């Protein structure tokens, strides 16, 4: 069984195929403590690891040093205010102004199968795939009850964590902090891996040593953000792709978050993850409950590569729900970088006609088709077709594109409102703002207060009405600014601290409604590029626009950081025009195709105006996509070399689950004087199998390709790519 409770030892043991997680209940007060997380062990007698027979001892044996116990014990879910001075996971404020909690074990339940969270994205699994442990704890003074929730996905080596808080008392309380997971461990010379960046430079990997004090990664922007990502991993010093221990957390949430690692005075490390407590309060009336979002935890004893492949498998099998999740996505062409706002029906049909002849399968009409939207200063919220641009209407355009054998997609930014819009002139109070203050603009737009039901219904109906009007099979859902000026014209003062979280719940509600009404729709989330690339969004859309930076060389680092956690099938990636519109770099059209292949693959250019040599290469790239996409979408990802680390070249591969086929992508970023070829050791193959590299007659043993490697000829010039296709003989 994946979950077992040993009553005599008062110990829970959670097992996946390769890992063990152990929890203990100690002392008369029934503190819930963390015992072990690591490689799978067969013996359940792990209680000695809790050090309860050492000073300062448990309170029943040494109550004079209760604070010392609380401040050093490995807590499974630490509460605030009674003596544990490390980062807590939960705090409250009562009507009397008290903030302290002490959680004691009451009971537990072990069930089969994963029940979805109400209103929140969460992982799913059948009775055969997942077991769930729910540990009920209570603070006897306030009546606050906390259910610690553990989902054990045995076959994919994942444990999910969350908590549900229930007000079992007689009066309302205010939650001021509710994290979803905590992990207390001895320090193993840990280094923290996190992902940082900015607009057009998302998810660059950073590694820092964990020293005394706190290291946190967080967002208070109302979204996951370009700047920090809702992920952290602790790796032992010297960890590589193949060896070393890794403890990782990823947050299934799309709003404010905090993940923090803290080393204390005893060289213990605490890692916590959850909703950011800044500007967060939640009023909980008697009998009401609050469900915290889910955390995905992965342990790897075989380096970062195994962590990555575990996350990929888990998200593909147990989080992404779309009917497209196991399907090849249509190759699309988006008109944004081709035309920006300067387009009409004739221009779009011309692009579609040329694209269809080259094998491209979908036209996506981006920003500028609605209201008086001639630039990005106006009309957000006015979601009616501008028939001066789209002569004959939207349905005419869609029908004409369909006649070419192409699908049609459309761009929306339904969460936003422009001050210069019919909607704002009619309903200025629908924007998030603080009464009496001039609200802050970003990209000359405000954010709609979707926590109000009439606003949410309006925004949803705007999208749905357009989708009902024509055969639209794809939606790009954008969000081009962060939240600020946090105030609602409807929420009472004692609930204003709920606005951030209620906003995220409202976005989830809109997208859930969209998926139910249009179940075959391909939804791609986007937020100024990659500001909402997170597991919460993957629950609603099988792919997310990875970054507004489409330059192939910049994308190497962006896609490396993204693929550290997320499957390649989720990464929106396009071939764009040159000089690149973000950085001005010129790269070979062939290389742009190789880099976009490690994603959903599409085009972001005016196919009628690009050089003839580039246009003639598109059918080859289309064939390349169809040849390799099943492998890229479903295979195991291996990182071989990182341009971010070596500054010269990048190399990664995807290997089929049965080890019969592999595709490796090599990109030389900067050439240098070198007479010799570059030697690359391939990864992921079966050592005993025989393989042939496409284009060669020689047969290799897998062991040879992985240990001795192959010689990649030194190409002439910069930004030159090569695909290495390996198949079993």
Handedness of CA 13, 16, 17, 19 (dihedral sign): negative
pLDDT of 562 reads 98
Parallel, antiparallel, or unpaired for β 571-572 and 543-545? parallel
**What is the CATH superfamily name and number for domain 366-535?**
Aldolase class I (3.20.20.70)
pLDDT at 675 over 90: no
| Same fold flag, 331-360+546-634 and 366-535 | yes
Mean per-residue pLDDT for 451-457? Answer: 98
Do 139 and 52 touch, CB atoms closer than 8 A?
Answer: no
Do 359 and 331 touch, CB atoms closer than 8 A?
Answer: yes
Do 140 and 67 touch, CB atoms closer than 8 A?
Answer: no
Buried b (16+ CB within 10 A) or exposed e, 30-62: ebbbbbbbeeeeeebebbeebebeeebbbbeee
Q: Is 165 strand, coil or helix?
A: strand
pLDDT of 672 reads 85
CATH of segment(s) 331-360+546-634 = 3.20.20.70
User: Per CATH, is 640-728 categorized as 2.60.40.1180?
Assistant: yes
pLDDT of 528 reads 97
The dihedral over CA atoms of 156, 162, 168, 172, expressed in degrees to the nearest 10, equals: -160
Q: Select from 102, 84, 79 the least CA-distant residue to 28.
A: 102
pLDDT of 1 reads 85
- N- to C-terminal Cα distance for the chain? 40
Mutual angle of helices 345-357 and 394-403, in 10-degree steps = 20
CATH of segment(s) 3-318 = 2.70.98.60
Q: Residue 386 CB: number of other CB atoms within 10 A?
A: 17
pLDDT at 674 over 80: no
- Alpha helix (H) residue ranges in 260-367: 303-318, 336-339, 345-357
Q: How many Å apart are CA 694 and CA 690, to the nearest integer? A: 13
Per-residue pLDDT tens over the stretch 6-29? 999 999 999 999 999 999 999 999
pLDDT of 673 reads 84
Per-residue pLDDT tens over the stretch 607-623? 999 999 999 999 999 99
Per-residue pLDDT tens over the stretch 612-652? 999 999 999 999 999 999 999 999 999 999 999 999 999 99
Per-residue pLDDT tens over the stretch 177-235? 999 999 999 999 999 999 999 999 999 999 999 999 999 999 999 999 999 999 999 99
Question: How big is the CA angle at 658 (ends 653 and 664), to the nearest 5 degrees?
Answer: 15
Q: Is 234 strand, coil or helix?
A: strand
Instruction: Report the catalytic residues.
Output: 478, 548
Report the chain's mean pLDDT, rounded to a whole number.
97
pLDDT at 540 over 90: yes
Per-residue pLDDT tens over the stretch 276-333? 999 999 999 999 999 999 999 999 999 999 999 999 999 999 999 999 999 999 999 9
Per-residue pLDDT tens over the stretch 558-599? 999 999 999 999 999 999 999 999 999 999 999 999 999 999
With 0-12 / 13-18 / 19 or more C-beta atoms within 10 angstroms meaning exposed / middle / buried, residue 581 is: middle
Q: Select from 206, 129, 296, 268 the least CA-distant residue to 560.
A: 206
Beta-carbon contacts of 609 under 8 Å, excluding residues fewer than 6 positions away, are 338
Q: Is 302 strand, coil or helix?
A: strand
Q: How many Å apart are CA 559 and CA 541, to the nearest integer? A: 18
As beta bridge partners, residue 701 has 690
Domain extents for the chain?
Answer: 3-318, 331-360+546-634, 366-535, 640-728
Rg (CA), the chain: 27
Cis peptide preceding 579, ω within 30 of 0: yes
Q: How many Å apart are CA 711 and CA 235, to the nearest integer? A: 32
Do 684 and 660 touch, CB atoms closer than 8 A?
Answer: no
What confidence category does residue 715 fall into, taking pLDDT thresholds of 50, 70 and 90?
confident
pLDDT at 174 over 80: yes
């Amino acid at each position: 069984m994946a979950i077992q409770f040993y009553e005599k030892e008062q110990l829970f043991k959670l097992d996946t195929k390769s890992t063990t997680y152990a929890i203990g209940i100690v002392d008369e007060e029934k503190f819930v403590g963390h015992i072990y997380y690591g490689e799978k062990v067969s013996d359940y007698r792990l209680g000695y690891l809790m050090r309860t027979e050492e000073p300062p001892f448990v309170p029943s044996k040494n109550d004079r040093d209760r604070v010392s116990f609380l401040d050093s014990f490995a807590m499974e879910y630490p509460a605030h205010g009674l003596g544990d001075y490390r980062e807590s996971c939960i705090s409250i404020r009562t009507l009397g102004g008290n903030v302290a909690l002490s959680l004691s074990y009451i009971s537990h339940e072990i069930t089969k199968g994963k029940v979805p969270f109400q209103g929140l994205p969460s992982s799913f699994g059948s009775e055969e795939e997942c077991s769930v442990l729910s540990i009920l704890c209570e603070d006897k003074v306030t009546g606050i009850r906390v259910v610690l929730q553990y989902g054990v996905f045995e076959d994919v080596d994942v444990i999910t964590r969350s908590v549900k808080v229930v007000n079992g008392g007689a009066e309302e309380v205010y939650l001021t902090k509710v994290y979803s997971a905590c992990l207390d461990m001895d320090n193993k010379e840990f280094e923290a891996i996190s992902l940082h960046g900015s607009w057009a430079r998302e998810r660059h990997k950073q590694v820092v040593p964990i020293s005394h004090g706190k290291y946190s990664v967080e967002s208070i922007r109302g979204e996951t953000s370009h700047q920090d990502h809702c992920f952290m991993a602790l790796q032992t010093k010297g960890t590589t792709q193949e060896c070393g221990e890794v403890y990782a957390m990823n947050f299934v949430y799309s709003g404010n978050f905090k993940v923090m690692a803290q080393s204390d005075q005893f060289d213990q490390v605490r890692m916590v993850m959850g909703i950011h407590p800044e500007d967060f309060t939640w009023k909980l009336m008697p009998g009401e409950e609050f469900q915290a979002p889910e955390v995905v935890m992965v342990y790897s004893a075989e380096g970062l590569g195994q962590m990555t492949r575990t996350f990929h498998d888990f998200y593909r099998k147990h989080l992404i729900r779309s009917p497209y999740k196991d399907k090849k996505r249509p190759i699309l062409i988006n008109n944004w970088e081709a035309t920006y706002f300067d387009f009409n029906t004739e221009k779009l049909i011309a692009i579609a006609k040329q694209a269809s002849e080259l094998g491209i399968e979908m036209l996506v009409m981006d920003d500028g088709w609605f209201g008086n939207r001639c630039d990005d200063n106006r009309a957000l919220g006015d979601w009616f077709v501008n028939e001066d641009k789209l002569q004959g209407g939207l349905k005419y355009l869609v029908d004409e594109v369909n006649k070419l054998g192409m699908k049609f997609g459309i761009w929306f930014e339904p969460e936003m409102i422009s001050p210069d819009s019919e909607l704002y002139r009619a309903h200025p109070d629908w924007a998030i703002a603080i009464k009496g203050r001039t609200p802050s603009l970003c990209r000359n737009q405000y954010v709609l207060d979707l926590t109000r039901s009439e606003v949410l219904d309006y925004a949803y109906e705007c999208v749905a009405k357009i989708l009902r009007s024509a055969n639209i099979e794809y939606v790009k859902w954008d969000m081009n600014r962060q939240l600020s000026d946090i105030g609602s014209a409807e929420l009472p003062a004692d609930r204003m601290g709920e606005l951030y979280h209620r906003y995220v719940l409202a976005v989830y509600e809109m997208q859930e409604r969209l998926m139910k009404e249009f179940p075959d729709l391909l939804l791609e989330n986007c937020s100024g590029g990659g500001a909402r690339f997170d597991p919460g969004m993957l629950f609603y859309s099988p792919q997310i626009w990875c970054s507004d930076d489409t330059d192939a060389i910049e994308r190497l680092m962006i896609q490396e950081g993204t693929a550290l956690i997320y499957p390649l099938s989720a990464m929106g990636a396009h071939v764009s025009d040159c000089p690149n519109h973000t950085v001005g770099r010129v790269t070979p059209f062939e290389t742009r195709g190789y880099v976009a292949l490690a994603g959903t693959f599409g085009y972001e250019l005016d196919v009628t105006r690009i050089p003839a040599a580039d246009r003639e290469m598109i059918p080859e790239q289309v064939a390349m996509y169809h040849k390799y996409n099943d492998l890229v979408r479903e295979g195991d990802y291996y990182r071989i070399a990182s341009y971010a680390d070596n500054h010269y070249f990048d190399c990664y591969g995807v290997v089929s689950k049965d080890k019969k086929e592999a595709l490796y992508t090599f990109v030389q970023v900067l050439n240098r004087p070198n007479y010799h070829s570059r030697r690359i050791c391939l990864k992921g193959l079966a050592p005993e199998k025989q393989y042939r590299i496409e284009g060669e007659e020689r047969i290799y043993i897998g062991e040879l390709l992985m240990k001795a490697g192959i010689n990649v000829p030194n190409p002439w010039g910069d930004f030159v790519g090569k695909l290495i296709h390996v198949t079993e003989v």
